[in-house]
Amino acid sequence: MLEACHERVQRTLALLGRLRAHLGQQGSDESARQAARDVLRYFDMAAPLHHQDEELHVFPPLLAQGAPAVVALVQRLLQDHQHMVADWAAARRPLQAVADGQASAFSAADEAVLERFALRYARHIEDEEGVAYPAVQGLWAPEALAPMGREMAARRHSPRAEAVRPAQPPARSRAAP
């Protein structure tokens, strides 16, 4: 489930990249507004649940039993989560303006914010999949995996999570971001 969330993050970041290119070339249209809404929905709803999964199930055993280098990485990953909240707050504003039809392009400052957001997420995923996830697999008791999966799924089926749907890129066309 954790790696599947990363795949959805990567798809949504790719959608954001296509949206940025589309706005730069063609401006805002309904396809761009829908892409912005899809990015907003994913990072408003699903991404925070994923971070919560990691903070509840992945990071604690690594902090308690991990090698010193892994503990240092997990501490940085936790800081990343805090920075990602701030990055998202800044990135969200220009995306919302596009989604609402109030902006037809991103400013240079908006582009810098969106780039920082995307790059932090990409590095974060690399560190988790390359180091943290492999390290924690040896620490999880096999009998703990099913209850952990059920807990993650239950939070996603809460009323707040019902609206979470994986971000899907718009149908491919020349005009689509």
Note the pTM of the prediction, 2 decimals. 0.82
Q: What local confidence, expressed as pLDDT, does residue 119 receive? A: 97
| Boundaries of every domain in the chain | 2-159
Residues 155-168, mean pLDDT to the nearest whole number: 50
Cα-based distances in Å from 170 to 22, 54, 177:
12, 29, 8
Q: What local confidence, expressed as pLDDT, does residue 142 receive? A: 80
3-state helix, strand, coil in the chain (%, to 5): 80, 0, 20
Residues 69-80, mean pLDDT to the nearest whole number: 98
Name the token pair of 135.
Answer: 């390290």
The percentage of residues in the chain with a pLDDT greater than 70, rounded to a whole number, is 89
Per-residue pLDDT at 150 exceeds 80: yes
Q: What local confidence, expressed as pLDDT, does residue 110 receive? A: 96
- Per-residue pLDDT band at 143 (split at 50, 70, 90): confident
The CATH number of 2-159 is which of 3.90.1640.10, 1.50.10.20, 1.20.120.520, 1.10.10.10?
1.20.120.520
